[in-house]
């Protein structure tokens, strides 16, 4: 659907609307989109859950602005939900967001199909999409019994972050970078995603998932694909997906190291003998012409000493000539900050002012909030807006999902755990390429 049709009235249904995701992300995002005029004021948002409550009870759960409460309704359960929506208007497009436990996706899709939601319906589901290759295939097969693949939107909110969307612009719209984005110039690539918090109130879910399933299979593999893929033929969703698939087909795991913070087994909802990892360090490679012999590193962990997600590009050292005869000039780096503050940092060699020729490393920085002077849209605003328009670019296909699981299948739950203290970052197995990303924390 084109943006010319964005003002068409639509019905947005949130299943599991009394949960945390709805309160923190979905309703605030829809509120903002309506206030900004991005969606029609004739659109309706219907929360559905097992609890009995009135429309007013439901509205009081949220901090609503701009008359949004007039568009917000509540309906208990799926029985009669389609009829309730039709009583509010004639909507050619109905978006159903499953803010539900992942194990209920297939059965819920069957239930809403039986409730009369058909070709006019788009389904949005959140990761994780299965627990391994077998369960992912089963889920995709069960979903497509009732809905066409074009109606299924697998949401990965990392793809909607501004810094992630800018990756393709940065690479393919700047002649400065594309010629050097290959194994001739780049020595290594690493992606880090660290959290200071532990599992908090997500213990029951997290103990069934772990860092590999919760972060690597979806968020971090998507970042890796966008960082390394070939230029797509166009910005069409399928062209971009095809290039991501080409990377995933060539992606190999060389080494995996799994850790767990020591207090993890005492957290609420965690098994006392749990072998679930809260930290993962991986070494990978891409077996194609562009990236042959360039190692890729992924690190992600909970309860570490800092909060941040970054992509680091390490360029090869200069030859030992001219200013680098002693090999002391630090190689150039590009650091792409995804969160909490979006930006890009270029580390360059420059002369220290003075009579002598001394070289140091200086930064050129691009910070989103400084460059544009406006609030960066929250990721769920972008995802919901694209779903309303039928734009699948920032959503994950069934084939992508299954291929990601295929890459990870041999290493899931494999290897002994090591333990680390809460509030610390485990020592890397690859100190020769380790980025001290903490020094960029104050930038942007």
> Within this chain, do residues 111 and 164 fall inside the same structural domain, yes or no?
no
Rounded to an integer, what distance in angstroms lies between the CA atom of residue 442 and that of residue 437?
Answer: 10
Give the contacts of 107 (CB within 8 A, at least 6 positions apart).
none
* Cα distances (angstroms) measured from residue 201 to each of 20, 267, 423: 11, 9, 18
> Within this chain, do residues 189 and 272 fall inside the same structural domain, yes or no?
yes
Give the contacts of 313 (CB within 8 A, at least 6 positions apart).
186, 189, 227, 333, 334, 335, 336
Quote the number of domains for the chain.
2
* Residue 419 CB burial class (10 angstroms; 0-12, 13-18, ≥19): middle
* Cα distances (angstroms) measured from residue 379 to each of 27, 149, 159, 403, 414: 13, 23, 8, 25, 33
For the CA atoms of 350, 351, 357, 359, what is the dihedral angle to 10 degrees? -50
Q: Tell me which of 126, 145, 179 is where a domain ends.
A: 126
Tell me the CATH number at 53: 3.40.50.720
> Within this chain, do residues 167 and 229 fall inside the same structural domain, yes or no?
yes
Got the DSSP string for 304-373?
A: -S--EEEEEEEEPPPPSSGGGTTS-SPPPEEEEEEESS-EEEEEEEEEPSSSS--EEEEEEEEEHHHHH-
* Cα distances (angstroms) measured from residue 298 to each of 117, 226, 251, 253, 402: 41, 14, 13, 11, 20
Residue 406 lies in a domain: yes
Residue 285 lies in a domain: yes
Residue 390 lies in a domain: no
> Within this chain, do residues 117 and 164 fall inside the same structural domain, yes or no?
no
Residue 149 lies in a domain: no
pLDDT at 306: 92
Got the DSSP string for 182-232?
A: STTTEEEEEEEEE-SS--GGGHHHHHHHHHIIIIIIIIIHHHHHHHHPPPP
Tell me the CATH number at 228: 3.30.360.10
Residue 391 lies in a domain: no
Segments of the chain scoring below 50 in pLDDT: 1-5
Give me the half-sphere count of Cα atoms (radius 13 Å) on the Cβ side of residue 228. Answer: 36
Q: Tokens 């719209």 correspond to what residue?
A: 173
Rounded to an integer, what distance in angstroms lies between the CA atom of residue 274 and that of residue 266?
Answer: 10
Residue 142 lies in a domain: no
Output 224-230 pairs: Cβ under 8 A, ≥24 positions apart. 224/189, 224/191, 224/251, 224/284, 224/296, 224/298, 226/164, 226/167, 226/168, 227/167, 227/171, 227/189, 227/191, 227/311, 227/313, 227/336, 228/189, 228/286, 228/290, 228/291, 228/296, 230/290
The answer to whether the CB of 223 falls within 8 A of the CB of 164 is: yes
pLDDT at 209: 92
> Within this chain, do residues 177 and 120 fall inside the same structural domain, yes or no?
no
> Within this chain, do residues 312 and 208 fall inside the same structural domain, yes or no?
yes
> Within this chain, do residues 111 and 185 fall inside the same structural domain, yes or no?
no
Rounded to an integer, what distance in angstroms lies between the CA atom of residue 259 and that of residue 37?
Answer: 47
> Within this chain, do residues 196 and 318 fall inside the same structural domain, yes or no?
yes
Task: Take residue 30 and report the two structure tokens written for it.
Answer: 């829809």
> Within this chain, do residues 250 and 320 fall inside the same structural domain, yes or no?
yes
> Within this chain, do residues 119 and 177 fall inside the same structural domain, yes or no?
no
Q: Tokens 């200071």 correspond to what residue?
A: 196
DSSP 3-state of 277: coil
Q: Tell me which of 77, 109, 126 is where a domain ends.
A: 126
Q: Tell me which of 80, 101, 126 is where a domain ends.
A: 126
Q: What are the catalytic residues?
A: 219
Rounded to an integer, what distance in angstroms lies between the CA atom of residue 268 and that of residue 202?
Answer: 8
Rounded to an integer, what distance in angstroms lies between the CA atom of residue 307 and that of residue 441?
Answer: 9
> Within this chain, do residues 186 and 57 fall inside the same structural domain, yes or no?
no
Residue 232 lies in a domain: yes
Residue 322 domain boundaries: 159-385+396-440
pLDDT at 374: 66
> Within this chain, do residues 192 and 94 fall inside the same structural domain, yes or no?
no
Residue 367 lies in a domain: yes
The answer to whether the CB of 338 falls within 8 A of the CB of 167 is: no
User: Which runs of consecutive H residues, i.e. helices, occur in 76-215?
Assistant: 81-87, 105-114, 133-146, 162-172, 203-211
């Amino acid at each position: 659907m084109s943006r010319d049709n964005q003002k068409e009235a639509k019905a947005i249904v949130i299943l599991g609307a009394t949960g945390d995701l709805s309160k923190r992300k979905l309703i605030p995002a829809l509120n903002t989109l309506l206030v900004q005029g991005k969606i029609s004021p004739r659109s309706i948002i219907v929360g559905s859950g097992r609890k009995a409550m009135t429309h007013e009870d439901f509205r009081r759960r949220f901090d609503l602005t701009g008359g949004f409460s007039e568009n917000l309704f509540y309906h208990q359960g799926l029985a009669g939900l389609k009829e309730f929506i039709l009583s509010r208007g004639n909507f050619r497009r109905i978006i159903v967001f499953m803010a539900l436990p992942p194990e209920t996706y297939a059965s819920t899709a069957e239930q809403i199909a039986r409730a009369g939601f058909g070709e006019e319906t788009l389904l949005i589901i959140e990761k994780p999409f299965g627990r391994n290759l077998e369960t992912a295939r089963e889920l995709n097969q069960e979903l497509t019994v009732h809905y066409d693949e074009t109606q299924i939107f697998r949401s990965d909110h990392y793809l909607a972050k501004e810094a992630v969307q800018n990756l393709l612009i940065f690479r393919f719209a700047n002649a400065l970078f594309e010629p050097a984005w290959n194994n001739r110039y780049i020595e290594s690539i690493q992606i880090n995603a660290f959290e200071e918090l532990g599992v908090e109130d997500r213990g029951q879910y997290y103990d069934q998932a772990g860092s590999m399933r919760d972060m690597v299979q979806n968020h971090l593999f998507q970042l890796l694909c966008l960082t390394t893929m070939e230029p797509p033929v166009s910005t069409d969703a399928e062209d971009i997906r095809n290039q991501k698939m080409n990377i995933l087909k060539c992606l190999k795991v060389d080494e995996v190291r799994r850790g767990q913070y020591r207090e993890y087994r005492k957290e609420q909802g965690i098994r006392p003998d749990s072998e679930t990892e809260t930290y993962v360090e991986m070494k990978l490679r891409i077996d194609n012409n562009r990236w042959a012999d360039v190692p890729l590193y992924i690190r992600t962990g909970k309860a570490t000493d800092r909060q941040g997600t970054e992509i680091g590009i390490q360029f090869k050292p200069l030859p030992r000539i001219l200013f680098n005869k002693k090999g002391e000039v630090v190689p150039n780096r590009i650091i792409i900050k995804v969160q909490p503050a979006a930006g890009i940092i270029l580390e360059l060699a420059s002369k220290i002012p003075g009579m002598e020729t001394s070289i140091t490393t200086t930064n050129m920085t691009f910070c989103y909030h400084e460059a544009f002077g406006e609030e960066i849209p929250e990721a769920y605003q972008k995802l919901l807006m694209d779903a309303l328009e039928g734009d699948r670019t920032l959503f994950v296909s069934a084939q992508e999902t299954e291929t990601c699981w295929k890459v990870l299948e041999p290493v899931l739950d494999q290897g002994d755990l090591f333990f680390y203290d809460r509030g610390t970052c485990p020592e890397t197995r690859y100190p020769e390429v380790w980025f001290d990303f903490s020094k960029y924390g104050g930038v942007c």
